[in-house]
Amino acid sequence: MSTSHRWTAGDGTTRTRREQAGRYALLPLRIFLGVTFVYAGLDKLTDSSFLRDSGPGSIGDLMRNVRDTSAVPWLVDLGLRNPEGFGYALAFGEVAVGLGTLIGLLARLAALGGALISLSLWLTVSWQTEPYYYGNDLVYLMAWLPLVLAGASVLSLDAAVSARRRRRP
């Protein structure tokens, strides 16, 4: 390969264009999932009917409606002990996961949180969806897994901290 296709990156490593492009491959997924989870959490926090025990559009009614068709009814029962508290925990969890993913702070941990939220929603809310591939929570779960494995190697606080550590004597 000619030397015009190689260059030295800011961290001192030599990369080809293909290697550099590969580092950015997960960035669109990171942005999509981060924005989506921040939006989902804020949407829940600003919806006056969602964070209630009962009533149209409430988290309590939603959980009671899916309880008997979920794969893990005990998890729904756990949330039904305090629907409002569970709703707030879910909403704040989504915002934290989304922000961590967007800025790349503890990116693997944030992605794991997103995967666990998606898994719990798939096993409860969208479990009865037929055929299974119409259920969006399963797709979100699968989308989180590459970020759990790879983290955020570019345009992230994790990458900045890692580069700074490598520069220290």
- Tally of CB atoms within 10 A around 127: 17
Q: Which amino acid is at 36?
A: T
pLDDT in tens, 109-136: 999 999 999 999 999 999 999 998 898 9
Helices (H) and strands (E) in the chain, counts: 8, 2
Q: Which amino acid is at 160?
A: A
Contact 45, 59 (CB under 8 A): no
Percent of the chain at pLDDT above 90?
78
- How many whole angstroms separate alpha carbon 41 and alpha carbon 17? 37
Task: Indicate whether 100 pLDDT > 80.
Answer: yes
Using alpha carbons, list the distances in angstroms from residue 59 to 8, 74, 137, 147. Answer: 52, 16, 17, 29
- Tally of CB atoms within 10 A around 110: 29
